[in-house]
Amino acid sequence: MHAVQPHTATPDPVPQAGIVLVSNGPGELSTWVRPVAQCLQRRLEAAGRARSFCALYLVLVPCPNGTGREHRAAAPWGLFERITPASRFWPLLLRPRRFGPWPRQGVVVFLGGDQFWSVLLSARLGYRHLTYAEWVARWPRWNDRIAVMGPGAAARLPARWRSRSRMVGDLMADLSESARSEQPLPPGEWVALLPGSKPAKLRVGVPFLLETADRLASLRPGCRFLLPLAPTTSVADLLRQAGPANPIAAQYGGGLPQLSPAGDALISQAGTRIQLERRSPAHAVLSQCALALTTVGANTAELAALGVPMLVLVPTQHLHVMQAWDGLAGLLGRLPLLRWCFGVVLTLWRLRHRGYLASPNISAGRAVVPERVGPITPAQIAAEAADWLAAPGRLQGMRDDLHSLRGQPGAVAALTDLVEELLPASSADGHPDS
């Protein structure tokens, strides 16, 4: 009798080339990373480029706009050879091979976060580098190519680096192409509630919007509510922020809602039903809403791309938890000893010198959608929302303005073209080096 020898698995071959997408928060993941990764995957498959020749990787970077759960949200997509969480970014820079083998050649693509982190990563891996510049390309010297969103970003480039740039358009403009009515909502006047995805935003947004929904339902009994869950947010997170674990919740009258028996809705203590949308991205159902009540962030750009009218809410009575600013100031505001004092001072300063906060207003340089910043109350917002819903002509005007800002679809395909141009020639034709 022959002894059974242990089986030694043959390691998969390392792809010849790699495409590394770098990003940060849930908004960028759903609106930039996923469409670009899907387009790249289709192109690779159509050209017969197997994963053994070229593979996609996702690296998440530290960012105050991140939740730390983005890697879990991206894993089910099945698009990436490997996903590196934000918590592993610094160890990755120090010892990249510790996280697995990397192709000898590749491209790093910046799609969110601090542009400097992608510059460091491309240098560390020895890959070429492409930045998608929504507003400004901060490190053009170290970019092989720059994909600018529009004329504003192009004009900010120093003249000596403009030959490296190409205007691709707004990646968000492609969202409307995928937002079809394959998931029709039941008839009714639907209002979307978007409390945010980060804990600081949820802490304020959940109790505020729950009471607002109750008040709006009493003003317009036919109103129906939709709450799309961010990919990094769970129903348990919503219930936690609506309950006694969140001291802010006691200042609002919505109370702790119950989860419906089917698990598809929250039912407030006043009986208001809030339909939950667990599928992400929720563009198909969001595009059917008459109005959205939302926090600031990437969600305002999503709604604008879908042409959904919105009221953007920043209740400043809770300044001590509004420490979601970015950059060095945001980092200092989260240090334990300075957290409360510095966070409040920083937020007050930013709000006073804020300009516009919502993405469509920043793009247009004018107030396309209302921004309600201050010690606002659910009663005030419910009354304003009811006024908008009672004036469909005004809503259509806002919708038309949003559509006019959106630009033409095609940015995802144009960005993918640039990535393919930077790939080594041997992987572009689908054959390994001889």
Predicted pLDDT of residue 8: 38
Percentages of the chain per state (helix, strand, coil), in multiples of 5: 45, 15, 40
58-83 burial code (b ≥16 CB/10 A, e <16): bbbbebbbbbebbbebbeebebbbeb
Average pLDDT, the chain: 86
Longest Cα separation, the chain? 86
Predicted pLDDT of residue 320: 58
Of the listed ranges 61-70, 134-143, 204-213, the one predicted with least confidence: 61-70
Question: Residue 115 in contact with residue 63, Cβ under 8 Å?
Answer: no
Average pLDDT over residues 365-380: 92
Helix or strand or coil: residue 227? strand
Which residue spans within 111-252 are E strands per DSSP? 128-133, 145-148, 165-167, 189-194, 223-228
Average pLDDT over residues 61-87: 90
Predicted pLDDT of residue 211: 97
Q: 276: number of CA atoms within 13 Å, CB side?
A: 22
Question: Residue 168 in contact with residue 149, Cβ under 8 Å?
Answer: yes
Phi, psi of 239 (to 5 degrees): -65, -35
Helix or strand or coil: residue 83? strand
The dihedral sign for the CA sequence 312, 318, 319, 323: negative
Confirm whether 17-169+410-428 and 178-406 share one CATH topology: yes
Predicted pLDDT of residue 182: 61
**Exposed (0-12), middle (13-18) or buried (19+): which is 141, by Cβ within 10 Å?**
exposed
DSSP assignment letter at 307: T
Predicted pLDDT of residue 32: 93
pLDDT band at 431 (very low <50, low <70, confident <90, very high): very low
Tokens of 18: 């790699």
Which residue spans within 278-403 are E strands per DSSP? 291-294, 310-315, 371-374
pLDDT band at 177 (very low <50, low <70, confident <90, very high): low
Predicted pLDDT of residue 331: 46
pLDDT at residue 261 is higher than 90: yes
pLDDT at residue 64 is higher than 90: no
CATH class of 17-169+410-428: alpha beta
DSSP assignment letter at 13: P
Of 214 and 64, the one with more pLDDT? 214
pTM score over 0.75:
yes
Number of other residues whose CB lies within 10 A of the CB of residue 258: 12
Number of other residues whose CB lies within 10 A of the CB of residue 152: 15
CATH class of 178-406: alpha beta
Of the listed ranges 124-128, 195-199, 254-258, the one predicted with least confidence: 195-199
Predicted pLDDT of residue 198: 81
Q: Find where tokens 């005007």 sit.
A: 397
Predicted pLDDT of residue 428: 47
Predicted pLDDT of residue 66: 77
Average pLDDT over residues 185-214: 93
CA distances from 365 to 48, 125, 156, 157, 434 (A): 45, 39, 16, 20, 54
Average pLDDT over residues 357-374: 90
Predicted pLDDT of residue 354: 61
Average pLDDT over residues 340-360: 61
pLDDT at residue 342 is higher than 50: no
CA distances from 361 to 171, 180, 251, 310, 367 (A): 17, 25, 31, 12, 5
Average pLDDT over residues 25-34: 88
Packing angle between helix 411-422 and helix 34-46, nearest 10 degrees?
A: 60
pLDDT band at 25 (very low <50, low <70, confident <90, very high): confident
Does residue 281 have a cis peptide bond before it, meaning omega lies within 30 degrees of 0? Answer: yes
What are the structural domain ranges in the chain?
17-169+410-428, 178-406
pLDDT at residue 99 is higher than 70: yes
pLDDT at residue 350 is higher than 60: no
Angle at 347 (CA atoms; ends 71, 398), nearest 5 degrees: 75
Helix or strand or coil: residue 373? strand
Tokens of 123: 């240098």
Of the listed ranges 310-319, 407-416, 421-430, the one predicted with least confidence: 421-430
- Determine what percent of the chain is predicted with pLDDT higher than 90: 63
pLDDT at residue 299 is higher than 80: yes
Report how far residue 76's alpha carbon sits from residue 82's, in angstroms, rounded to the nearest whole number.
12
Average pLDDT over residues 382-399: 97
Q: What is the pLDDT of residues 268-294, one digit of tens each?
A: 999 999 999 998 888 999 999 999 999
Predicted pLDDT of residue 295: 92
Predicted pLDDT of residue 4: 37
pLDDT at residue 309 is higher than 90: yes
Average pLDDT over residues 143-158: 94
DSSP assignment letter at 221: T
Question: Residue 99 in contact with residue 88, Cβ under 8 Å?
Answer: yes
Average pLDDT over residues 376-400: 97
Packing angle between helix 378-389 and helix 199-219, nearest 10 degrees?
A: 60
pLDDT band at 361 (very low <50, low <70, confident <90, very high): very high
pLDDT band at 7 (very low <50, low <70, confident <90, very high): very low
